[in-house]
Copies of this chain bind each other. A is one copy, B any other.
């Protein structure tokens, strides 16, 4: 039999509520009593039963992290930081990966009931959702590295991300300034209405501003039967593009992992980077740095985003009001995978 609060109470010769007060740092308790109880607890290695606590407390101290599109290491990094923050706040956290096909709002709704969630962190996904559906999410939530397009006024939420369109513009513009005029885009899934769309818009805008007309045949979507944002996806799409003998001098992949896959496809074709093709990615992962050649990318301030997200979530849990989200600045990191073709 496990030790329960009753056992501790008996051992200390006090009532269970006093023990409860000691555990939960309630103010009205004699410091000496508390001290004695805590000692006994440590001695017998007592750990309160979480289920019972969560059952009794109107709301649990549990936060869910829902990750869609796990293949992107960007999310692994984010999850780690978020986990640390949640633990620091003495909350439990619950990680759930969501299939590409699953509906993350449905999952969230179930989870809220089942686990009496206190808050939710969405990583990836959350595009395409009616306001009614979103309105059903009663718990506060944050979106990390994403933004919601149709602001739902009935929800308590906040978004933390870079300005995907602006950053996408930045990196495309960088390629243009290097003299590239035919820039292939390895974009998001067909019908993407989220960051994929924003980055696409940024790309187009940059081209236009540089007096380059958009060639739709250079804009490629992810392959749907392969994990999104993955190396393999970048590889396959790039291979197809190369097979078509299209003319272009640069490739912009909307994630570093896709960029790596694209590089491999180029190498397999017997071409060189950056001599034959310049390649840029997006995210700023270590993987891009360690690749050979190291890949020019747009770094997202992952750590800052993670911290801000969790802080906001806790504030919303406390105040029950939405807090302002924030747009972070990305950073263009120029590396070996790109070169100027101005004076060639």
Interface residues of A (CB under 8 A from B): 2, 45, 47-55, 60, 70, 73, 76, 80, 83, 94-95, 97, 110, 113-116, 230-232, 235, 260-261, 263-264, 267, 286-287, 289-292, 294
Which residues of the partner chain B approach A80 to less than 8 Å between Cβ atoms? 70, 97
Contact A60 B51 (CB under 8 A): yes
Which residues of the partner chain B approach A260 to less than 8 Å between Cβ atoms? 290
Most buried by B among A113, A263, A290: A290
Contact A110 B287 (CB under 8 A): no
CB-nearest residue of chain B relative to A260? B290
Most buried by B among A47, A50, A115, A230: A50
Which residues of the partner chain B approach A2 to less than 8 Å between Cβ atoms? 113
Copies in the complex: 2
Most buried by B among A49, A83, A294: A49
Contact B114 A48 (CB under 8 A): yes
Query: Of B110, B114, B261, B267, which contacts A49 at CB under 8 A?
Result: B114
Query: Of B47, B51, B231, which contacts A286 at CB under 8 A?
Result: B231
Known contacts A83-B97, A264-B292, A267-B292: A113-B287 contact under CB 8 Å = no
Query: Of B76, B113, B235, B292, which contacts A76 at CB under 8 A?
Result: B76
Known contacts A95-B95, A292-B263, A292-B291: A113-B286 contact under CB 8 Å = no
Question: Could you tell me the distance between the alpha carbons of A294 and B231 in the complex, rounded to whole angstroms?
Answer: 13
Known contacts A52-B55, A113-B47: A261-B232 contact under CB 8 Å = no
Distance in angstroms from A7 CB to nearest chain B CB is: 13
Query: Of B114, B231, B235, B263, which contacts A50 at CB under 8 A?
Result: B114
Query: Of B49, B70, B114, which contacts A55 at CB under 8 A?
Result: B49
Q: Is the interface of A mostly helix, strand, loop or mixed?
A: helix
Contact A116 B49 (CB under 8 A): yes
Distance in angstroms from A36 CB to nearest chain B CB is: 21
Which residues of the partner chain B approach A230 to less than 8 Å between Cβ atoms? 286
Which residues of the partner chain B approach A54 to less than 8 Å between Cβ atoms? 51
Question: Could you tell me the distance between the alpha carbons of A230 and B80 in the complex, rounded to whole angstroms?
Answer: 15
Question: Could you tell me the distance between the alpha carbons of A90 and B133 in the complex, rounded to whole angstroms?
Answer: 26
Query: Of B51, B235, B263, which contacts A52 at CB under 8 A?
Result: B51
Contact B94 A94 (CB under 8 A): yes
Contact B50 A115 (CB under 8 A): yes
Distance in angstroms from A311 CB to nearest chain B CB is: 20
CB-nearest residue of chain B relative to A87? B96
Contact B235 A261 (CB under 8 A): no
Which residues of the partner chain B approach A95 to less than 8 Å between Cβ atoms? 95
Question: Could you tell me the distance between the alpha carbons of A323 and B50 in the complex, rounded to whole angstroms?
Answer: 30
Which residues of the partner chain B approach A291 to less than 8 Å between Cβ atoms? 291-292
Distance in angstroms from A302 CB to nearest chain B CB is: 14
Distance in angstroms from A73 CB to nearest chain B CB is: 7
Which residues of the partner chain B approach A261 to less than 8 Å between Cβ atoms? 290
Which residues of the partner chain B approach A289 to less than 8 Å between Cβ atoms? 264
20 extra interface residue pairs, beta carbon distance < 8 Å, beyond A47-B114, A51-B54, A263-B290: A47-B110, A48-B114, A50-B51, A50-B114, A50-B115, A51-B51, A51-B53, A51-B115, A55-B55, A73-B73, A76-B76, A83-B97, A231-B290, A232-B286, A261-B290, A264-B292, A264-B294, A287-B287, A291-B291, A292-B292
